[in-house]
Amino acid sequence: MRYWKRMDSTGKTRVVESYSHDIPIEGATEIGEIEFNQYLASLPESERPESQIQKEWKKAKTIEKKLELIGKLFGLDEGQP
């Protein structure tokens, strides 16, 4: 895995990226895994990528439970259109 960062005009890191290919990333500076992980750890909880995925998963599970309840209320079998 290779790690990259993009900086603004003041030199502050704004984005980090990781890729498994060997193609250089235009407009980005290559960094090490430690710097990549430190940047992710410094983000507020609401900006961490895994946090957003977890939120979406919980939302999907809630919707799934509601649909199951509706199905039971109307006597619908699971898997039927």
Tokens (6 digits) for 16 = 């980090």
pLDDT at res. 5: 97
Per-residue pLDDT reduced to its tens digit, 4-31: 999 999 999 999 999 999 999 999 999 9
Q: φ and ψ at 6, to 5 degrees?
A: -120, 135
Per-residue pLDDT reduced to its tens digit, 29-57: 999 999 999 999 898 876 666 667 777 88
pLDDT at res. 46: 67
For range 51-73, the mean pLDDT: 85
Tokens (6 digits) for 75 = 């006597």
The shares of helix, strand and coil residues in the chain, as percent rounded to the nearest 5, are 45, 20, 35
